[in-house]
Structure 1
């Protein structure tokens, strides 16, 4: 590390003499400056006024990733994907799962090397430079922050299904649907975000325990769904298997990638894990294996029990399947209860991840310092949690699910692609760094990870791309106007670290 502002100036370019230590570097230098891996590890857990508490073990970290992943994608988005691919929606899950696997292997390698809370933001900061790290962090805000809102919208749909089945009443559309979907405001979606906020304010260990209980319940609920649906399988429902061709499978796979967003959530807990180098890679891989197996089983059971044409327009998809199969409402009630709990878990964990990413970016100076301020009692970023939760609750109350899900997918795919690139860069530039996990068959698998992310991004709609472009332009403006000048790597700030 170098302290700037001293009387000794570093030499300037050849033939130009020395320049003052406080002189601003060229724009290109500022955009490409990198944060050393050692500095990322050294600052682990450090925040404004305290440190995060290391309290999470392998089981809790695995539950965090499962909790963040297993939810709306299978309970709600399945109903939107089946009409795109027909029975081949199972292949769409496999396609999305393989894309996630390539990136999960890359995450596992980097998480074992860099136990920071910033996930792929921190990894790209160490390898690809500040502007790429900012773009990655900005995409993570889209992936985590917007997906919390999307998941909360799905929670409201299952809550209404449960109320309808049990007491014969539902929340009026004006209060349970956002503008554009026939309503005024989605109060249930906002409510579940605020409930998750309350749990997070209690502390990381306490909220991780709550999440672990909910993960057990929702895994059990999906296994129960498969057990009931498989009793009503009709082989004729699988034919034709691919009625809309490979294009339909690709489109469904791109949408269903939303179902895998969250497997990297354990990496956002790197600074609160007891043994991050050992446990983070294991948690990421194990959670993806469990989630993929469940997704494929549920999809196979659903399209085998009900003709794929009947899925169009369904909201609480799995409840609809059970009601159709059994002709009664009892199993649908059980499924709806499980779904309400399952989706609550996703909201809790993904909201947690968003706050920790902002915590890390704030510590680096790229966003305001209030996001890295630690409450001395709970040892959590309390102000960060309150601000983020309020914003996401508002988003969930006012934006339809479909737009949120696709926007989340493209942001996640962009960030995952960068993580694969980061593995390739660190293998070349820092081969001596200790790695508790190594991506097999490198560089082949990381390259496949980049290509598969790009393929699914191309499969998304033009509207999604325009939304993504607008989001990235807004982020670039924020970085140039605020983050670049306040970065801790900027000469004249409290501390500058050079690679």
Structure 2
């Protein structure tokens, strides 16, 4: 058994199986560089940026911008590893395949379950956020919202999150339909998401106030690093690029370029959103909105455009209070 757990799968055999030499017809290589990069961007954008400011700004204050930069650097180092491995093992399976070829079957088994956990947590987070933003849209356009019992997670007063279930089922049906159809719809969705974030940045910058950055790091370096660990969650998903290794044209060239392009675009968007968001709203408001289960970016837009009701006076200061020494 020990020998079986340590046995490695030869890279040549993996590539041969991907080409259909052993296990039937191969997958159709129909994805190019830009389609693959858009898959990576769609897997990252939406994983956290639409709500992460509500949980990280209270920890780091305006210096959350540095937290995004730190998380981007760490994600970049991981991306370089993926670039090297994707070039050497241009097959599907991502880190599962890489572990199988380098560390053995036992390590690959554990990595596979870690991947399942990673995507399960990421998808559930996005699906729950979808329900909150759906309420924002329905309230703005039609003047009503879904009851919390069917639109919020259990910890926020919900019992069965119907919007989350619907969006997961729709995505599953689309993936079952085929790669080309999924890539086409994904391109449209990525353009919409990027357009929404650019729109948010443009509107938020109209209310930019440099005074919001005056107490830049209220909790010092510790606050920046703690927030960076939370921000890194927003980068989860760029490894999805490597899972399409058997459906990509020229995978040894396309996969590395798509990973690097994904991180470049995502980091630029994230830093811009953080700067615009903190500049448009005092840091102390972010924690209040997150505690109330509000969609943070949507609430900032409401405040900037004057479509929200005036907030009641609050004892919460405009910036996070420094923690007392232990």
TM-score scaled by length of structure 1: 0.59
Whichever of the two has the greater Rg, that structure is 1
Partner residue, 2:159: 184
Distance 1:317 1:45, change over 3 A: farther
How many corresponding residue pairs? 303
Q: Is the 8 A contact 1:229 1:305 kept in 2?
A: yes
In structure 2, runs of 5+ residues without a counterpart are 309-326
1:88-109 per-residue CA deviation (whole Å, 9 max, x = no partner) reads: 1111111111110001011011
Give the C-alpha shift of residue 168 in structure 1: 1.6
Give the secondary structure class of the aligned counterpart of 1:75: coil
Give the C-alpha shift of residue 49 in structure 1: 5.8
Match of 2:300 among 316, 321, 324: 321
Match of 1:259 among 226, 234, 240: 234
Give the secondary structure class of the aligned counterpart of 2:52: helix
1:164-202 per-residue CA deviation (whole Å, 9 max, x = no partner) reads: 112121110111123232111111001000111121121
Partner residue, 1:209: 184
1:392-433 per-residue CA deviation (whole Å, 9 max, x = no partner) reads: xxxxxxxxxxxxxxxxxxxxxxxxxxxxxxxxxxxxxxxxxx
Match of 2:16 among 42, 47, 69: 42
Matched, 1:59 2:59: no
Give the C-alpha shift of residue 126 in structure 1: 1.0
1:78-137 per-residue CA deviation (whole Å, 9 max, x = no partner) reads: 211111111111111111111100010110111112111110111111111222111111
Q: Is the 8 A contact 1:69 1:291 kept in 2?
A: yes
Q: Is the 8 A contact 1:45 1:53 kept in 2?
A: no
Give the C-alpha shift of residue 45 in structure 1: 5.7
Give the C-alpha shift of residue 145 in structure 1: 2.5
Give the C-alpha shift of residue 141 in structure 1: 0.6
Partner residue, 2:224: 249
Give the C-alpha shift of residue 237 in structure 1: 0.3
Partner residue, 2:320: none
1:442-474 per-residue CA deviation (whole Å, 9 max, x = no partner) reads: xxxxxxxxxxxxxxxxxxxxxxxxxxxxxxxxx
Give the C-alpha shift of residue 155 in structure 1: 0.8
Partner residue, 2:95: 120
Give the C-alpha shift of residue 264 in structure 1: 1.4
Partner residue, 1:14: none
Q: How does 1:92-491 map to 2 (within 5 A)?
A: 92-314=67-289, 315-328=294-307
Work out which structure has the larger RCO, using CA pairs closer than 8 Å and 6 or more positions apart in sequence.
2
Q: Is the 8 A contact 1:72 1:154 kept in 2?
A: no
Distance 1:244 1:253, change over 3 A: same
